C-alpha cells in the first residue's frame, strides 16, 4: 500500500527533526522495547547497544528511508544487507509488529507536537511499507535456506592460531549431514550464551571455500575502543563473543550456527574472467581467502590481485605465499607497519608503511580494465579510504563491494 503524495511530503518534512534528534529517538526506542520485551535481547548485540553503534545504525536507516521515500529502489542494496543479517539471526514477521509499535512511540515522545495525527499516520504507513518489503525478501531467503532456517549445532573441531590475536575455528555439524554450498565472501552467525543471561550472536566471514564436512571462520580478539592519555591506556566496550571464543572455547565446544548468508560475495555462477582485486586489512583477510581459494580452484586463468595491510604478522601468510608462487595470475602487495627481524622485502612484504593504494602499480590494481571487480574488507575507516581512492581513479561504485556487518552505512558519497 503506497503512500499518498501528502503522506510522502509529511514524512520528508520530518527529516530536519530526524537529523537533529534521530539518535535520541532510536536510543529511547531500544530502551523502551527491550524493557518491555527483554527476550529480544537475544537478537541484539549488547556491546553495540552500550557503545551507541546500534542506535546510530538505525538512525542511518530511518534517515535514508525518509530521504528516499519516493524512490525506494535506490535503497535495495541496504535492504538486501539488512534482510540477510535478519535471516542469519532468525528474525520473524512478528518481530516487526513490536518494532513498529515502539518506534512510532519513540517518534511521538521526542518530536512532541510536531508528531500530529497526520504525521503519525504517515509514518505508520511508511513503516509498514518498509516492513512488508523486508518481510517478503526475508521469506524468500528462508525458503532458500530450506531445512536449515534456524540454529544448528556445530562442534569446534580445532582451533588454529593465525597470528598473535587472530584464530581460525573449524566447525563441524553435530548431525554429520553434508553442509550446503555458499558463495565465497558470505558469513555465518554464531550464537553463544552471553554474560548477562541472553544469547549473543556475531557474524563471521567464512574463511575457506566450500567444503562438504566443515566450515571455517577466522576470529580476531576485540579489545574494544582504546583510550589513552599521558598516564595510562585503557579499553572500553571490549568484544564479548570473539574474546569468549578465543579464551574459553577450545576444540570440542558446541556452538549454534546459522545458515550462510550475506550480500558480499563473488558470484561463482558467473564464469566471467575479469580481474579481481582483493583489498583487506587485519582480519578482513578472512573472506578474501575464501574468494581466492575458490577462484584458484575453479578459474585458474582469472587474474587476482591481493593487497593486504597488517601491523605485524599477516594471517594465512604461508598459504598466500603458496598461492602466489604456484599461480602466475595471482599477485600480492603486502603492507606492514611493524617489521620483524625475519621479514624480507619482496618475500613476505612489499611496503613497510600503512596501506597506500597510490604506491601499488596501476597494473596490479587493474585500473585500466573497465570490468575489474574490487572487494574490500577491513575497519570501516579503511574501507572508506580505499573506496575513495578507487573512485578518484575512475572506478564506478557498482564494481566496488564492501563487507559490512552493521545495518548502517559508511559515509561514502557514491554509496
Return the active site residues. Answer: 96, 138
Q: How far apart are CA 105 and CA 33, in angstroms?
A: 10
The angle at the Cα of 354, spanning 48 to 168, to the nearest 5 degrees, equals: 55
> Which cell numbers in the block locate residue 361?
602499480
Exposed e or buried b per residue across 378-405, where buried means at least 16 C-beta atoms within 10 angstroms of its C-beta: beeebbbbbbebbeeeebeeeebbbbbb
Burial class, 267, CB count within 10 angstroms (exposed 0-12 / middle 13-18 / buried 19+)? exposed
**DSSP structural state of residue 315:** T
Q: How far apart are CA 61 and CA 250, in angstroms?
A: 38
Q: β-strands 400-402, 199-205: how paired?
A: unpaired
Q: How far apart are CA 114 and CA 186, in angstroms?
A: 43
Q: How far apart are CA 77 and CA 84, in angstroms?
A: 11
The interaxial angle of helices 53-67 and 117-145, nearest 10 deg, is 110
Helices (H), 189-316: 241-248, 285-298
Amino acid at each position: 500500500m503506497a503512500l499518498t503524495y501528502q503522506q510522502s511530503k509529511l514524512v520528508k518534512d520530518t527529516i530536519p527533526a530526524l537529523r537533529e534528534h534521530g539518535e535520541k529517538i532510536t536510543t529511547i526506542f531500544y530502551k523502551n522495547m527491550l524493557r518491555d520485551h527483554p527476550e529480544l535481547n537475544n537478537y541484539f548485540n549488547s556491546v553495540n547497544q552500550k557503545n551507541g553503534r546500534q542506535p546510530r545504525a538505525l538512525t542511518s536507516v530511518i534517515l535514508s528511508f525518509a530521504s528516499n521515500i519516493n524512490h525506494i529502489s535506490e535503497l535495495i542494496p541496504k535492504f538486501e544487507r539488512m534482510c540477510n543479517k535478519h535471516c542469519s539471526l532468525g528474525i520473524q514477521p512478528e518481530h516487526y509488529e513490536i518494532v513498529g509499535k515502539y518506534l512510532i512511540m519513540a517518534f511521538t515522545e521526542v518530536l512532541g507536537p510536531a508528531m500530529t495525527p497526520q504525521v503519525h499516520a504517515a509514518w505508520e504507513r511508511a513503516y509498514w511499507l518498509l516492513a512488508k518489503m523486508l518481510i517478503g525478501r526475508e521469506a524468500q531467503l528462508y525458503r532458500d535456506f530450506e531445512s536449515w532456517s534456524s540454529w544448528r549445532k556445530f562442534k569446534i573441531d580445532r582451533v588454529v592460531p593465525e597470528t598473535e590475536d587472530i584464530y581460525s575455528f573449524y566447525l563441524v555439524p553435530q548431525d554429520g549431514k553434508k553442509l550446503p554450498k555458499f558463495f565465497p565472501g558470505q558469513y555465518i552467525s554464531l550464537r553463544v550464551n552471553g554474560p548477562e543471561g541472553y544469547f549473543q550472536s556475531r557474524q563471521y566471514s567464512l574463511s575457506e571455500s566450500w567444503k562438504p564436512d566443515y566450515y571455517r571462520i577466522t576470529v580476531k580478539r576485540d579489545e574494544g575502543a582504546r583510550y589513552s592519555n599521558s598516564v595510562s591506556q585503557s579499553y572500553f566496550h571490549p568484544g564479548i563473543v570473539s574474546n569468549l571464543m578465543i579464551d574459553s572455547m577450545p576444540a570440542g565446544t558446541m556452538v549454534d550456527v546459522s545458515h550462510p548468508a550475506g550480500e558480499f560475495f563473488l558470484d561463482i555462477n558467473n564464469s566471467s574472467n575479469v580481474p579481481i582485486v582483493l583489498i583487506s586489512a587485519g582480519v578482513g583477510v578472512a573472506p578474501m581467502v575464501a574468494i581466492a581459494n575458490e577462484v584458484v580452484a575453479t578459474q585458474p586463468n582469472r587474474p587476482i590481485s591481493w593487497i593486504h595491510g597488517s601491523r605485524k604478522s599477516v594471517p594465512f601468510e604461508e598459504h598466500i605465499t603458496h598461492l602466489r608462487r604456484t599461480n602466475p595470475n595471482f599477485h600480492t602487495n603486502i603492507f606492514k607497519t611493524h617489521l620483524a627481524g625475519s621479514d624480507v622485502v619482496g618475500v613476505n612484504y612489499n611496503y613497510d608503511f600503512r596501506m597506500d593504494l597510490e604506491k601499488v602499480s596501476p597494473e596490479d590494481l587493474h585500473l585500466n580494465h573497465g570490468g575489474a571487480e574490487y572487494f574490500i574488507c577491513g575497519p570501516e575507516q579503511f574501507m572508506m579510504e580505499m573506496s575513495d581512492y578507487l573512485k578518484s581513479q575512475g572506478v564506478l561504485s557498482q564494481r566496488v563491494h564492501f563487507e559490512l556487518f552493521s545495518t548502517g552505512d559508511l559515509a561514502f558519497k557514491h554509496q
